Amino acid sequence: MTAVLAEAPGTPAVDAAARHRAVLALARVETVRMLRHPVTVAATLLLAGFWVSSWFAIGTSRYPVLQDLDRDSAIGMMILLGGAALIVGNLAVLRAHRDGTTGLSQVLILPDRARTVAHLFAPLPLAVLGAVLIVARMAILAICTPAAGHPNPYELATGPATVLLLGALGVLLGRLTRSAVVAPLALLVVLAGLAVLEPLANGGKALWLAPQGGSVLPMPVPVSLMGRPAAAHFAYLLGLAGLLSAAAVLRAGARGVRVAVAGVVALACAVAGGTAQLSAPGHAVVAARTAAMNHPSQYETCRELGHVAYCAFAGFSRWIPAWNTVVQAVVAQVPATARSARLTIRQRIVFVSLGGGKGPEQLLAAWRSDNAAAGTPGAIGIDTQWGDSRSAADLAAQVAYRLVTGRAGEAHVEQGAELAGATACGGAGVLVVWLAGQAGTQARTGLRRLTEDGRDPRGGVSFDQNQLIPSVYVPAPELTVATQALARPRADIAARVQRSWATLTAPGTTAAQAAQILGVPAPAAGTAC
């Protein structure tokens, strides 16, 4: 991109210096034109608007994981600012042809190869603008929200690198053809390729050859367990941008050793970065992931609030106050005599690729062993994602199950069962759902969505301790009674729960009996627990 133009034999040094100054002057003009072009302005506003709207529209954005958002920022920048650089850069190269001044340009001080270099410089400020937007977004999230973790600088730099890459592609296309339709078609091909490559790659290494990089883990994890070759991918993108730039100036008529050297260096950078990013995570990363999955207590820091211990991985402790709000809302509805059990909330992660063919029962057994070693038997699991209504409902239901039964949801697992977790039958199941609904607006919204759209295949609802391992299942009759109780005045139902707690939590109490105690219609006959 910054290749130095080869000088014609016998050209005075002063002419070379003047030409270099003219290239920089033209680059400044083209930069201003690119930044104020309607396509660039619209792309910038759309990018900023999308980031702002996602903060309000997506619940988890209020509790962001910065090491995941850095990659998402790069994708948005590639599509919008990168697409703007491709189209506007291509139009700039074709300006003389579109205006019918191609003949006049031949008598100017700058030949085609020099003007091409100036056009290649133009996307640089746009990439800098993108970097400023990304850094500003991360800073705002880190300061104004209880964000977890921290971003990877190389992941943040990937977005600006794609702007340079697509900008160089636009200049090259302008030198290869005079059609103004080619650049939009090229952008469409790039976007279609991104959509097609991901399912074809099936999460494999080949996805790293695309601008957006490889696939992401199924759930957020601590920074130390990411294992993404972001630095190598950044070098790979810069190498590709350099190759396209060298090809553009070569097509414009530039020759000489320096152009060849620039192309060779860019090729080496692309090959080295592309090869390095295809390497699997090292043994140290795999070992750390396995240990953190099976023995989370060894990698967490615990904090006690309101007689409840909260244990979180590094970088996630800022979420503890939000967890505590949900937990205490459930505890407040339970009679004082049922609050004697000490509660521990422990964050957990699952790496699907490390399962080794084991079922959920083996992983749950490892967690029980880890809890016993840490002195926190019956710890309640919580995900590394927070802020949406489903997460609040899951945590509230697990806390309720622990208080109602004295056991954790993972205590009973049927060997070989497709779904792991405990089943809350009769009055206990009714209480679990009703107590979960007392944990706040978000938890109640999560319950409603589970009831309407997220039903378990067995007919009731399942509450998870993370995205992959179910914890507590409540059958349909119990869910029906609890839903009707949630629709009644809270004070009335709460008083009935306090008076009849022992009966509702007794093992023999059925859903129909619980309905009679709570003063709601009995459920239709369902499958027995």
Write out the chain's pLDDT in tens, 529 residues. 444 444 444 444 446 777 788 888 888 999 999 999 999 999 999 999 988 888 776 666 789 999 988 888 888 899 999 999 999 999 999 987 765 665 555 555 678 888 899 999 999 999 999 999 999 999 999 998 899 999 999 999 999 999 999 999 999 999 999 988 999 999 999 888 777 777 666 666 777 888 877 777 888 999 989 888 999 999 999 999 999 999 999 998 888 888 899 999 999 999 999 999 888 788 888 899 999 999 999 999 999 998 899 999 999 999 999 999 999 999 999 988 877 778 999 999 988 766 544 566 788 888 889 999 998 888 899 989 898 888 999 999 999 999 998 877 654 444 444 445 688 889 999 999 999 999 989 999 999 988 887 677 777 888 887 766 778 889 989 999 999 999 999 999 999 999 999 999 998 899 999 999 999 988 876 555 6
The two beta strands, 422-423 and 343-347, are: unpaired
Alpha-carbon distance of 474 to 467, in angstroms, equals 18
Structure-block tokens of residue 109: 């001080």
- In the β-sheet with 470-474, what is the strand arrangement from edge to edge? 422-423, 470-474, 461-464
391 and 451 Cβ atoms separated by less than 8 Å: no
Q: Would you call 129 helix, strand, or coil by DSSP? A: helix
Task: Tell me what pLDDT residue 204 has.
Answer: 67
Task: Tell me what pLDDT residue 438 has.
Answer: 92
Alpha helices in 252-377 (DSSP H): 257-277, 283-294, 320-331, 360-374
Integer CA distances (angstroms), 217 to 51, 111, 221, 411, 503, in order: 22, 50, 8, 27, 45
Task: Tell me what pLDDT residue 5 has.
Answer: 40
Task: Tell me what pLDDT residue 8 has.
Answer: 42
Q: Helix, strand, coil shares of the chain as percentages rounded to 5?
A: 65, 5, 30
Task: Tell me what pLDDT residue 201 has.
Answer: 63
Task: Tell me what pLDDT residue 467 has.
Answer: 64
456 and 407 Cβ atoms separated by less than 8 Å: no
Say if residue 509 is exposed, middle or buried (CB neighbours under 10 Å; 0-12, 13-18, 19+). Answer: buried
Q: pTM for this one?
A: 0.84
HSE-CB of 6 using CA atoms within 13 angstroms? 16
Alpha-carbon distance of 322 to 63, in angstroms, equals 10
Task: Tell me what pLDDT residue 3 has.
Answer: 41
Phi first, then psi, for residue 474 (nearest 5°) are -115, 120
Q: Would you call 310 helix, strand, or coil by DSSP? A: strand
Domain residue limits, the chain:
13-280, 289-518
What is the 3-state secondary structure of 471-493?
A: EEEECHHHHHHHHHHHCCCHHHH
Alpha-carbon distance of 313 to 348, in angstroms, equals 8
Task: Tell me what pLDDT residue 529 has.
Answer: 67
The two beta strands, 308-313 and 300-305, are: antiparallel
- Residue 5's CB is within 10 A of a number of other CB atoms, namely 23
Dihedral of CA atoms 245, 251, 257, 263 in degrees, nearest 10, equals 30
- In the β-sheet with 343-347, what is the strand arrangement from edge to edge? 300-305, 308-313, 343-347, 380-382
Shortest CA distance to 239 belongs to which of 162, 307, 291?
Answer: 162
Say if residue 527 is exposed, middle or buried (CB neighbours under 10 Å; 0-12, 13-18, 19+). Answer: exposed
Alpha-carbon distance of 469 to 327, in angstroms, equals 20
